[in-house]
Structure 1
């Protein structure tokens, strides 16, 4: 059964970072994530594997999930689900 601490914390980080903007830099997500006590250095290292740049929330979720899959951690961590809101593409 997946340990959902990482996923829950990352969802909250993404909610905070993307609250008032369409795109965000990886460093902004990392900065917000590093302020969370429940995210370990190993968990934050996932973000270090994402190339620098600006990404939409959907793109960021896809990239984080790709890192999880590349590390073969989807069974232990799970994957971040993308929730669609009405009117979103």
Structure 2
């Protein structure tokens, strides 16, 4: 699976976690992401680096992108598109 497809699948898991809600816990995002068999364990580990608490879509996207940048993976993995970007 390409890195772009992995991020698309992660975005889908995030959308599933939120449904119609404005805020969800990172545990809920992780739970939905872990149900996606095509998401590699290393990407799921990114979610473990996020502080506990409730996030809105923009906050969770920025937090995951911060982990990707901290790991220096933005060139190889890319970044999640902002929910406001229309992507």
CA deviations on 1:22-80 (whole Å, 9 max, x unpaired) are 00000000000001110111110000000000000000000000000000000111001
Q: After TM superposition, give the deviation of residue 3 of structure 1 in Å.
A: 1.9
Structure ranking higher in helix proportion: 2
How many residue pairs get aligned? The number is 85
Question: Rg larger in 1 or in 2?
Answer: 1
Runs of 4+ in structure 1 deviating by more than 4 angstroms, as ranges, are none
Match of 2:9 in 1: 9
Gaps of 5+ in 1: none
Q: Give the root-mean-square deviation of aligned CA atoms.
A: 1.7
| 2:67 is aligned with 1:70 | no
Superposition TM-score, scaled by structure 1 size: 0.88
| 2:18 is aligned with 1:18 | yes
